[in-house]
A and B are shown apart, each in its own frame.
Chain A
Amino acid sequence: QVRLQESGPRVVKPSETLSLTCTVSGVSVTNTDYLWTWVRQPPGKALECIGYIYHSGTTNYDASLKTRLTISIDTSKNQFSLTLRSVTAADTAVYYCARAYYDFWTGYPDHFDPWGQGTLVTVSS
């Protein structure tokens, strides 16, 4: 059974760096059939996919976060991570990691399955 679990600090101060890790079990992050994604949901707002990474290290980011966001992958630990710099209150959200099927025709993610349970990160002093 494939499982994803987010971990990291629940509270981050404004202007500091938010770092989360997603630990994957039941499948290798080097499997070429999948992409590894981060999705967030600010309180009362819709889900938004903020970026993804392929096992090769190829990434794609939401345009509005591109200058602050880095997604990386550690194949030795079967994990992938998110780093968001210079956070503000607008970055307060539940952050989910999810596995996406890789669409070989478009090069983009296909549907997401499974998802982690999510972790609420609050930006506050």
Chain B
Amino acid sequence: EIVMTQSPATLSVSPGERATLSCRASQSINKKLAWYQQKAGQGPRLLIYGASTRATGVPARFSGSGSGTDFTLTISSLQSEDFAVYYCHYYNDWPLTFGGGTKVEIK
């Protein structure tokens, strides 16, 4: 089973600043990685798939990068609606696995 490790667990950022979230796989996963945003009381929302492809309707301030074992989600200028929990997700095999999440909070 591939283990996905996200860091940091919590990220404190001021509105307008840049946020960089990391996700590391326990072995190479090519680019079979997605990022989701989750707000309280809601199901996760797809942001990025294939490591770097933005999903339909996702603002351009969200970008994904990386390959192999190390991946990054960058939010270029945080808006108030971006404060949430973010999960990475590996999906090229079974079992599929998720990272433990990074909570982006207001500084």
Chain A residues at the B interface, C-beta cutoff of 8 Å: 46-49, 60, 62-63, 96, 98, 100, 103, 106, 108-118
Q: A49 touching B96 by the CB < 8 A rule?
A: yes
Q: How far is the CB of B19 from chain A (nearest CB, A)?
A: 20
B73 close to A (CB within 8 Å): no
**Chain B residues closer than 8 Å to A118, beta-carbon distance:** 42-43
Count chain B residues whose beta carbon lies closer than 8 angstroms to a beta carbon of A.
Answer: 25
Q: A112 near B34 (CB under 8 angstroms)?
A: yes
Taking CB atoms, residues of chain A closer than 8 Å to B34 are 111-112
B interface with A by C-beta (< 8 Å): 32, 34, 36, 41-46, 49-50, 55, 87, 89, 91-101
Q: Which residues of B contact A48 (CB under 8 A)?
A: 97-98
From DSSP, what is the main secondary structure of chain A's interface residues?
strand
Interchain residue pairs A-B with the least CB separation, the first 7? A115-B43, A111-B49, A113-B46, A47-B98, A111-B34, A49-B96, A46-B100
Q: Name 21 interchain pairs, CB-CB below 8 A, sorted by A.
A: A46-B101, A47-B44, A48-B97, A48-B98, A62-B95, A63-B95, A96-B44, A98-B43, A98-B44, A106-B92, A108-B96, A110-B49, A111-B34, A111-B50, A111-B89, A112-B34, A112-B36, A112-B89, A112-B91, A113-B46, A114-B43
| Contact among B41, B44, B100 with A115 in the assembled complex (CB-CB below 8 Å) | B44
- Cross-chain contact of B91 among A62, A96, A111, A117 (Cβ < 8 A): A111
- Contacts A47-B87, A118-B43 given; does A113 touch B95 at CB 8 Å: no
Pick the contact of A109: B87, B91, B99 (CB < 8 A). B91
